[in-house]
């Protein structure tokens, strides 16, 4: 059977002689689908189960033969348990052992889960040694029915399986020593989460897009493992070195080095990470690509490319493995899809210009009738933006709130609260303090009868120590409201400290 691919690039079937197991599993991972990959060789069938592209378990129609060895390794060699587990494993591959252990009551549930996971890992890792057989990709309508899932990511499992392969004496390297390895340009593969060895981390750190494989590492098997897992690819002879805006080095990837102690502030970092994921996800339906990346629309192209890589790392689906994001599978998948869309939109200046032409400015767009904007619809849009902006500020998500308020002011400039709240949000950023004051000056020119605007301008001028303009704003307040206590008190304080 020849290897073939579906329309989306996923391998649908083939032989292990032509396509190694690592590539087969990596293809299923990239599909982001619920699936079963069925691998057959010499009468044995092994199933690899995927949930939304993540490898979650493995089973075999011959796993009953492994049950006795496994239970003895865990010190559970009671004959009745062995016999029951053996029968269950025969009748229900992948689930029989779990049911037998739980039903026996001989072990705690966590021990039963550990046994099942260890058996699944044994099936997975030993299959990497298969050099012959066939495979088939079978989509599933829903999540696979498995007793317990792997507690590691697909990349970590693949790397471990490849590490366990015995060295073949005299075998030629699979990577040309003169070839130029680069970090994968595929965001999904490049930013996989994995636990790597110190040697693997050093290789990832040495890849700069220019050095040949022989200069990156002496043991090309390490480089081959990283390529099989998807982190690394080999550049064609005609391709240019990787774009400078793409961050390089192991510190910019989504990996951890085995044996390295966690950062003292790791817990705080994970909480901030989770907050950013959920804050962005809850407004995903109405934000554009710039807002997904967390950058202003006038950003330089190089800054956009950097933001794409940063967000790809933060929103990568593999982050579901982190304790703070264990329930965020759907959110991460959706956010990462948006980052991939932004990656395509900002690939070049031409693609960015094309995207900008289709961009709706603001959360909602006012429909046009006979070429004229509907003022009532614009006011409704402005009100909706203002209300959403208040919610975003409560969540400390200031940039999208700023965009919402800027649109609100444009659509309905007669509302003083829109102007003052916009200035308040601008004032949160030390770099935007002067912009906040200028916003209030524009508001005062537009709404000279608004006490609220003049008071806000007076406060802004006080922050800038602009006493002349502050006094002028306070006097305007008293012209409109002679009994205004705040303005009266502020003017009295200014008079009291004036030098005589």
Least confident of 1-10, 404-413, 425-434, 442-451: 1-10
* Alpha-helical runs (H) found in 327-374: 329-345, 349-357
Q: What is the β-pairing status of strands 194-196 and 255-257?
A: parallel
One domain for residues 461 and 394: yes
Nearest to 67 by CA among 29, 44, 93, 43: 93
Q: How far is residue 166's CA from residue 147's CA, in Å, rounded to a whole number?
A: 31
Q: Which comes out higher in pLDDT, residue 67 or 335?
A: 335
- Quick check: is 132 in a domain? yes
Using the predicted structure, report yes or no on whether residue 64 has a pLDDT greater than 80.
Answer: no
pLDDT at position 295: 87
Question: Count of domains in the chain?
Answer: 4
One domain for residues 187 and 271: no
Using the predicted structure, report yes or no on whether residue 230 has a pLDDT greater than 90.
Answer: yes
- Quick check: is 309 in a domain? yes
The residues near 185 (Cβ < 8 Å, ≥ 6 apart) are: 233, 242
* Span 303-324, pLDDT tens digits: 999 999 999 999 999 999 999 9
446: Cα separation from own chain's centroid: 43
- Quick check: is 168 in a domain? no
One domain for residues 351 and 452: no
Q: How far is residue 381's CA from residue 384's CA, in Å, rounded to a whole number?
A: 5
Share above pLDDT 70 across residues of the chain, in percent, rounded to a whole number? 83
Residue ranges making up the domain that contains 322: 266-357
Using the predicted structure, report yes or no on whether residue 101 has a pLDDT greater than 70.
Answer: no
| Residue 125: Cβ-neighbour burial (10 angstroms; 0-12, 13-18, 19+) | middle
- Quick check: is 59 in a domain? yes
One domain for residues 390 and 419: yes
- Sign (positive or negative) of CA dihedral 252, 326, 155, 54: negative
Axis-axis angle for helices 451-463, 467-480 (nearest 10): 160
One domain for residues 243 and 288: no
Rounded mean pLDDT, 202-219: 93
pLDDT at position 284: 81
Count of beta carbons in the 10 Å neighbourhood of residue 109 = 11
Using the predicted structure, report yes or no on whether residue 239 has a pLDDT greater than 70.
Answer: no
- Quick check: is 300 in a domain? yes
What confidence tier does 127 reach under pLDDT thresholds 50, 70, 90? very high
Q: Which two tokens stand for residue 176?
A: 């040309």
**How much is the pTM?**
0.69
One domain for residues 139 and 48: yes
pLDDT at position 9: 72
One domain for residues 8 and 147: yes
167: Cα separation from own chain's centroid: 36
pLDDT at position 97: 64
pLDDT at position 473: 93
pLDDT at position 368: 31
- Quick check: is 217 in a domain? yes
Using the predicted structure, report yes or no on whether residue 370 has a pLDDT greater than 50.
Answer: no
Rounded mean pLDDT, 185-204: 96
Sheet holding 4-5, edge to edge: 4-5, 11-15, 134-139, 35-41, 44-51, 54-60
* Span 252-261, pLDDT tens digits: 999 999 988 8
One domain for residues 407 and 436: yes
Rounded mean pLDDT, 72-79: 64
pLDDT at position 367: 34
pLDDT at position 362: 41
One domain for residues 187 and 284: no
Q: Which two tokens stand for residue 103?
A: 């039903």
Using the predicted structure, report yes or no on whether residue 152 has a pLDDT greater than 90.
Answer: yes
Last residue of a domain, one of 324, 357, 390: 357
Rounded mean pLDDT, 187-206: 96
* Span 15-53, pLDDT tens digits: 999 999 999 999 999 999 999 999 999 989 999 999 999
What CATH number corresponds to the domain at position 468?
1.25.40.10
What confidence tier does 86 reach under pLDDT thresholds 50, 70, 90? low
pLDDT at position 320: 95
- Quick check: is 458 in a domain? yes
Share above pLDDT 90 across residues of the chain, in percent, rounded to a whole number? 53
What CATH number corresponds to the domain at position 335?
1.10.287.110
One domain for residues 230 and 350: no
Least confident of 106-120, 135-149, 213-227: 106-120
pLDDT at position 365: 37
- Quick check: is 364 in a domain? no
One domain for residues 22 and 144: yes
One domain for residues 142 and 22: yes
Last residue of a domain, one of 257, 277, 306: 257
Q: How far is residue 22's CA from residue 15's CA, in Å, rounded to a whole number?
A: 13
What confidence tier does 399 reach under pLDDT thresholds 50, 70, 90? confident
* Span 310-368, pLDDT tens digits: 999 999 999 999 999 999 999 999 999 999 999 999 999 999 999 998 875 443 333 33
What confidence tier does 439 reach under pLDDT thresholds 50, 70, 90? very high
């Amino acid at each position: 059977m020849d290897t073939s691919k579906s329309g989306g690039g996923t391998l649908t079937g083939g032989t292990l002689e032509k396509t190694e197991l690592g590539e087969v599993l990596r293809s299923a991972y990239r599909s982001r689908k619920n699936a079963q990959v069925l691998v057959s060789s010499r009468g044995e069938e092994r199933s690899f189960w995927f949930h939304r592209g993540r490898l979650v378990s493995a089973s075999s129609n011959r796993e009953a033969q492994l049950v006795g060895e496994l239970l003895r390794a865990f010190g559970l060699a009671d004959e009745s348990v062995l016999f029951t587990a053996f029968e269950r494993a025969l009748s229900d591959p992948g689930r029989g052992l779990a049911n037998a252990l739980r039903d026996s009551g001989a072990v705690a549930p966590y021990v039963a889960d550990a046994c099942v996971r260890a058996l699944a890992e044994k099936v997975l890792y030993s299959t990497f040694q298969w050099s012959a057989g066939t495979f088939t990709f079978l989509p599933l309508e829903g999540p696979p029915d498995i007793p317990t899932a792997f507690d590691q990511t697909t990349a970590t499992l693949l790397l471990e399986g490849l590490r366990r392969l015995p060295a073949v004496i005299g075998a030629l390297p699979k990577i040309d020593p003169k070839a130029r390895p680069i970090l994968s340009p595929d965001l999904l593969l490049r930013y996989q989460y994995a636990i790597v060895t110190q040697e693997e981390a050093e290789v990832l750190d040495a890849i700069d897009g220019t050095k040949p494989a022989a200069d990156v590492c002496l043991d090309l098997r390490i480089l081959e493992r990283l390529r099989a897992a998807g982190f690394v690819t080999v550049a064609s002879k005609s391709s240019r070195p990787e774009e400078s805006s793409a961050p390089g080095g192991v510190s910019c990837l989504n990996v951890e080095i085995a044996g390295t102690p966690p950062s003292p502030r790791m817990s705080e970092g994970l909480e901030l990470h989770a907050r950013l994921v959920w804050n962005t996800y809850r407004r995903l339906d109405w934000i554009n690509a710039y807002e997904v990346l967390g950058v202003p629309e006038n950003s330089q192209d190089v800054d956009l490319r950097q933001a794409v890589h940063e967000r790809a790392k933060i929103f990568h689906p593999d982050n579901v493995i982190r304790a703070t994001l264990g329930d965020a599978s759907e959110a991460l998948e959706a956010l990462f899809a948006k980052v991939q869309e932004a990656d395509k939109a900002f690939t070049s200046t031409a693609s960015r210009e094309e995207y900008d032409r289709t961009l709706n400015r603001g959360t909602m767009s006012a429909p046009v009738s006979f070429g004229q904007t509907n003022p009532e619809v614009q006011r409704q849009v402005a009100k909706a933006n203002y209300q959403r902006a208040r919610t975003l500020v409560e969540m400390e998500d200031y940039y999208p709130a700023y965009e919402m308020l800027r649109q609100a002011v444009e659509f309905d400039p007669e509302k003083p609260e829109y102007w003052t709240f916009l200035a308040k949000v601008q004032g949160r950023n030390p770099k935007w303090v002067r912009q906040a004051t200028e916003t209030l000056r524009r508001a005062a020119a537009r709404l000279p009868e608004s006490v609220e605007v003049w008071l806000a301008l007076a406060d802004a001028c006080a922050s800038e120590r602009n006493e002349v303009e502050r006094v002028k704003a306070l006097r305007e307040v008293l012209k409109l409201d002679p009994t205004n206590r705040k303005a009266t008190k502020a003017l009295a304080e200014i008079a009291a400290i004036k030098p005589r």
